Structure 1
Amino acid sequence: MTTPSIIMPIVALAAALTVGVVLGGCDSNTTASSSSSPTTSQSVAQAHNQPDVAFAQNMIPHHAQAIAMSRLAAQRAVSPQVKDLAARIQAAQQPEIDQMSGWLRAWHEPVPATDSPMSGTEQGEMGQMDHDASGPLPGMMSGDQMQQLEQATGPEFDRMFLQMMITHHQGAITVAQTELRAGQNPAARQLAQRIIDSQQREITEMQALLSRQ
């Protein structure tokens, strides 16, 4: 008569052990899966070629000069529309500099300095693009041009800023198009397309502002 009372705890214990094994197996699989995901993601993030490196190394100083020009516009521009455009350029391009700098560090490649934006000729051999490996970056202003912009005032500053920034944006589009042709990294290619789209819109906006001068 006591046999059922003995069997029931044994059955319950066996069931508990079975559940524990199943759950333990699930935890093990989950851990293995989660631990393998970062490795896969990291491998994808690291996939790049030399054109990707050149794109980032060239676009960082290119963006830095555009930001320097936009900071001047924040102080010197007469037109509220020019001031607004300059603020939007700064807001868009600084995060892109940060993003590209992060790529270069992850790829163990030199990160260009941005504290003193270089002219097109001073950029030198940091990046190697298809346009001309030994020449200046497309659209970059020379030291003399930057000095002229710094010395301009009033409506003349607005006109000069718009003309220079149109040329600067056209150069950035050229650099981005090279990345689309030759780059491999998906994130870099995505940024290149975004630069082309956004800066072409801003070129159209600046041309309209110039026509009202």
Structure 2
Amino acid sequence: MPARPKSRPFVLTAAVVVVLALAAWALATSLSDDTPASQVPAADSADAGFARDMAVHHQQAVEMSYIVRDQTDDEDVRRLAYDIAQTQANQRGMLFGWLDLWELPKISADGYMAWMKDQGHGEHQAKGGSLMPGMATADELEQLGKLKGQQAEVLYLQLMIDHHMGGVTMARACTQQCEVKAEKRLAQGMVEAQQSEMKLMTDMLRERGSAPR
């Protein structure tokens, strides 16, 4: 059987740019109604903190998804990885777009997760060497890049379940603490979508004789 062609980053990048341009236009329209100029979030608000931190969190999910697409020929895993990469790249563009519209910095001097200090991070804590709850470490990303076939599939699914768990914790906090309606709706959508994907990935691990970590 002929080898599957590798993904083409330059084609995908162009597609993502188009998607993000459309997303930026859509979020600008929605925010014009949801966030009057007098109600722009403060730099240390939950709205700004969630936008900054979730954008970073999403970027790693995109990275892991493109790694595994080159490490396996399994159509189900490749399709899932592509869907996660496209969805989270789109959402990342929206989050950074909000920060641009609010004229707020994309990096906080207080560090990651400071906006959740009153609520805490829940039971799902950041691992040693990772930036935020659910995020993989540099060693785990390196390991993923070295594995092939089913071994790569299993590690990817396990890492992504952890990643979604951390993301859901953050998104739930935004639904409770954020003030901008459009952002709260996006956060609630993240909770629902990522919970559904976690169930799917758990089933995929079971099919491969494995389980979440």
TM-score, L = length of structure 1: 0.70
Which residue of the partner structure matches residue 165 of structure 1? Answer: 160
Residues 1-213 of structure 1 mapped to structure 2, 5 A cutoff: 43=36, 47-48=40-41, 50-111=45-106, 125-128=111-114, 129-130=116-117, 131=120, 136-213=131-208
List alignment gaps of at least 5 residues for structure 1.
Answer: 1-37, 113-123
Contact 2:112-2:132 within 8 A present in 1 as well: no
Moved more, 88-97 or 38-47: 38-47
Asked which structure has the greater CA Rg, the reply is 1
Distance 1:84 1:41 in 2: 34
TM-score, L = length of structure 2: 0.70
Offset at residue 90 of structure 1 (A) = 1.3
Q: Deviations over 1:8-46 (max 9, x none)?
A: xxxxxxxxxxxxxxxxxxxxxxxxxxxxxx987661795
Structure 1 residues 205 and 41: CA distance shift in structure 2, 3 A: closer
Distance 1:101 1:177 in 2: 19
Read off the aligned partner of 2:36 and give its amino acid letter. Answer: S
Contact 1:46-1:107 within 8 A present in 2 as well: no
Distance 1:105 1:164 in 2: 31
**Residue identity (%):** 29
Distance 2:96 2:38 in 1: 14
Offset at residue 173 of structure 1 (A) = 0.1
Structure 1 residues 45 and 74: CA distance shift in structure 2, 3 A: farther
What SS does the aligned partner of 1:76 have? coil
Contact 1:78-1:155 within 8 A present in 2 as well: no
Contact 2:113-2:132 within 8 A present in 1 as well: no
Runs of 4+ in 1 over 6 A off after TM superposition: 38-41
Contact 1:45-1:185 within 8 A present in 2 as well: no
Moved more, 148-157 or 189-198: 148-157
Distance 2:104 2:73 in 1: 41
Contact 2:171-2:188 within 8 A present in 1 as well: yes
